[in-house]
Structure 1
Amino acid sequence: MRFLSVLAAAGVLFGCSALPGEGPAAINISSQDVETSAQTGDYTVVVVEPSNIDTIKNYRPLAFANQFHGVGSGGSSTLLGVGDTLNVTIWEASPDGLFSSGGGGSSNIPSVVDESGYIFVPYAGRIRAAGLSIEGLRQSVQQKLVGKAVEPQVLISLRDKLSSTAVVVGDVAKPGVYPLPLRNTRLLDLVAQAGGARDATYETVVTLKRGNRAGTTRLEDLIDYPENNVLIAPNDNILLSHRPRTFSAFGALKANQLVPFRTKTVTMAEALATVGGLRDDRADANGVFLFRFEDAALVRKLKPLLADKLTGSQSVPLVYKLSLRDPKGFFMSQKFEMRDKDILFVSNHPTAELGKFLQIIAPLISNYSVVSNLTE
């Protein structure tokens, strides 16, 4: 009876809830009330199943593109501006005309739109160019030469549109200021003009700053999701940064560490293998969790009941749960792709907690036995 009393007292003092551990138990996470958590801003739990694994895998993150909806028109203006360099070619019907040279009957005149918005053409004088299209300027020049040149014909071509530029800096081969042509220029076009990223695309992030708005995405997302390859607007600033991806591994795994991505894609199965897999003596195969901030748009697809409570495009703290007790879990872990800054956690099995409890009370039992032997 005394032994049972000691054991009961030890159970009160050293109950499993008070045992030291590396993280929450599977029951603590799985029992989270997702409806309440969505309202309080805690977290939401999604069990990875065959019914939703394709939704998770095929989700297209467009938060970057959405940052620039309605902010700047995108593309370069078709109108001329200060700093634009032009080439003015003038033909005359007579070889003896003002602009006939070497019997060719034409002259090429390089011009730059000055700070006042004008260009100078011999015998035509200063002509307003800023705010006009190329065709509008051509007609103005030709009209000015009527009565001075012999049946003049004018062609104007744009050499560099320096009135519309964007800046590319950071981890690119050729950082600098780049003129935007009249055709629409997209973000990848400008990165290519700057020589591309110095490092692997999956380790490079691109930040676009336009006015007071800024957005950041992985460079590879501009290729994988073309909607993110937004149009560049004049005065945009683009920064490329080398930022290797990592994930953290905690809990009942053979190695708890920060793990860098070695390839473009890493699945959960590969992530678990990288850290040595689950510990046989401690791990709860039913309690494999991944912690991540997900776009609200994806959470609304995974949890339709939360659609009314998740408004806007904010990031939502989400916990994915995967069970490796079921063989299907291994197939789903092969399809589930890891992302930068993911946290992978495997909880302890309840029997492991019991083992900790027995280790704690073992000295009490041993001391009781010694005292009993002495008193007898």
Structure 2
Amino acid sequence: MHFSIKFLLSFVIPIFTIGCTVPGSHLPTDAKNVVEPENKQSNSTRDHINLHRLTAQSVGSLSNKKLFNSQPNTSLDNEIAAYEYKIGPGDILNVTVWDHPELTIPAGSYRSASEAGNWVHADGTIFYPYIGTVHVSGMTVREIRRDMSKKLTRVLESPQIDVNVAAFRSQKAYITGEIAKPGQQAITNIPLTLLDAINRAGGLGVNADWRNVTLTRNGHEETLSLYALMQRGDLMQNRLLQAGDIVHVPRNDNQKVFVMGEVNDPKLLKMDRSGMSLTEALSNVGGINQLSADATGVFVIRSARGNSDHLADIFQLDINDASALIIGTEFNLKPYDIVYVTAAPIVRWNRVIAQLLPTITGFNELTEGVLRIRNWP
């Protein structure tokens, strides 16, 4: 009888007390105002998470790995071939009328060409003798030359005019972010491309995220990959810069992934410029724990950003056969991905038993003490 009671208490009482003796911190939700989600169509998290299995057939479509190939950019070539600089306020023009030195202001030994030139005023005009006010803003030097020649024919016979820009000051592009020398770069009569601007700025910084460079033009933002442009020769990533363009090279501070679970050295990993694959992440933490990990349960948990109808995507890789790690090399991780390796079922069971054994042992000792006191003569 006493043995049956002791045996029953040893197993029943721990079961009832296990809910209030869980190790670690606890935050009770009772006596708190619980705010229910507005969308009550489904209360199950299962309905909001998609599970994808990584196989040799599916990894190509599931990976976010972008394939960049060397290719020309004919539209950019046509833009550069047809490019002509248009004058703006602040520019300085040099106007030369051949055989009429009285109309040409020489630069001299103490004045540069820009100091001796004709300043384009804020209203887009310059003043020239015999003509007066000439509107030049928004025009090319060829258009200005043709217009001034036509007007000078009123006082000169067959005037020969040469017009060039002595100083380019009206139009600028801005290079910001993780580069050697950020700042503004003048738009001149020589076409300025994105690659030219990066090179003039001294190149990329050590912590530059060269895969997500942004070009902002007239409020519209476009993401370009300098990795594809410089490393893969994809000229479709290059652009001809215009006045007011902002090129921003971000830092790679957010290029990190989290590796947790049954691995030898769980930690946060920082992705480099070449990115990081799933197999590379596992290698950086010493691989999975061969004594406790479930080789079928290597998961990548990825938050579904934007206007998605689900919370997250989970990608599962089974590496029971170690050759499946080659599949992991084709799966590129994204920033803030969580790589989680689950524990084997026997390990989880042993951990439950390890939690229960001290309690069972304590109750055994308690019941034995009670029986000894009760049987004490």
- TM-score when normalising by structure 1: 0.69
- The Cα shift of 1:117 comes to 1.0
Task: In structure 1, give the amino acid aligned to 2:243.
Answer: P
1:239 Cα deviation from its structure 2 partner: 3.4
1:46-125 counterparts in 2 under 5 A? 46-57=52-63, 59-60=65-66, 79-92=86-99, 98=102, 110-125=117-132
How many residues are aligned here?
Answer: 325
- The question of whether the paired residues in 1 share the 8 Å contact of 2:49 and 2:314 is answered with yes
SS in 1 for 2:117: strand
Aligned to 1:24: none
Partner of 1:232: 241
Shift of residue 147, structure 1, vs aligned partner: 4.7
Aligned residue number for residue 317 of structure 1: 312
CA contact (8 A) 2:210 2:249 kept: no
Task: Tell me which of 249, 252, 274 is aligned to 2:284.
Answer: 274
Deviations 1:155-194 (A, max 9, x none): 3334554332122234333332222246764433322222
Structure 2 CA distance for partners of 1:157 and 1:56, relative to 1, 3 Å: farther
In the TM superposition, 1:278-293 aligns within 5 A as 278-293=288-303
Would the alpha carbon gap of residues 159 and 172 (structure 1) be closer, same or farther in structure 2, given more than 3 Å must change?
A: farther
For 1:254, give the aligned amino acid. Answer: N
Contact 1:82 1:116 in 2 (8 A): yes
CA distance in 1 between partners of 2:56 and 2:122 (Å): 64
Match of 1:155 among 162, 180, 185: 162
Deviation at 1:131, TM superposition (A): 3.0
1:1-376 alignment, distance < 5 Å? 3=7, 6-7=10-11, 10=14, 14=18, 42-57=48-63, 59-60=65-66, 79-92=86-99, 98=102, 110-158=117-165, 160-181=167-188, 185-199=192-206, 201-202=208-209, 206-214=213-221, 219-220=226-227, 223=230, 227-244=236-253, 245-261=255-271, 264-293=274-303, 317-367=312-362, 370=365, 375=371
Structure 1 residue 278, shift from structure 2 partner: 1.0
Aligned residue type for 1:239: H
Question: Separation in 1 of the partners of 2:24 and 2:312?
Answer: 25
Mapped contact 1:76–1:234 kept (Cα < 8 A) = no
Change (3 A) 1:43 1:227: farther
Contact between 1:167 and 1:237, CA under 8 Å: does it hold in 2? yes
- Are the structure 2 counterparts of residues 58 and 356 from structure 1 closer, same or farther at C-alpha, using a change threshold of 3 Å? closer
Instruction: Give the deviation of 1:352 after TM superposition.
Output: 1.4
Aligned identity (percent) is 22
The TM-score, its normalising length taken from structure 2, stands at 0.69
Shift of residue 359, structure 1, vs aligned partner: 0.7
Contact 1:88 1:155 in 2 (8 A): yes
Per the TM alignment, residue 286 of structure 1 is displaced from its structure 2 partner at its CA by 0.9
Instruction: Look up the match of 1:32.
Output: none
Uncovered stretches (5+) of structure 1, i.e. residues with no partner: 22-35, 63-74, 103-107, 297-308
The Cα shift of 1:137 comes to 1.1
Tell me the alpha carbon deviations over residues 291-316 of structure 1, each in whole angstroms, 9 at most, x when there is no partner. Answer: 234688xxxxxxxxxxxx969xxx97
**Separation of aligned partners in 2, 1:111 and 1:325:** 78
Q: Note closer, same or farther for the CA distance 1:57–1:76 as it changes in structure 2 (3 Å cut).
A: farther
- What is the SS of the residue equivalent to 2:179? coil
1:72 aligns with none
Name the Cα RMSD after superposition. 4.2
CA, structure 1 residues 227+256, in 2 after alignment: closer, same or farther (shift >3 Å)? same
1:7 Cα deviation from its structure 2 partner: 3.3
The CA distance in 2 between the partners of 1:136 and 1:183, in whole Å, is 18
- Partners of 2:303 and 2:166 lie apart in 1 by 47
User: Alpha-carbon deviation of 1:324?
Assistant: 0.8
In 2 relative to 1, CA 91–60 (structure 1 residues): closer, same or farther, beyond 3 Å? Answer: farther
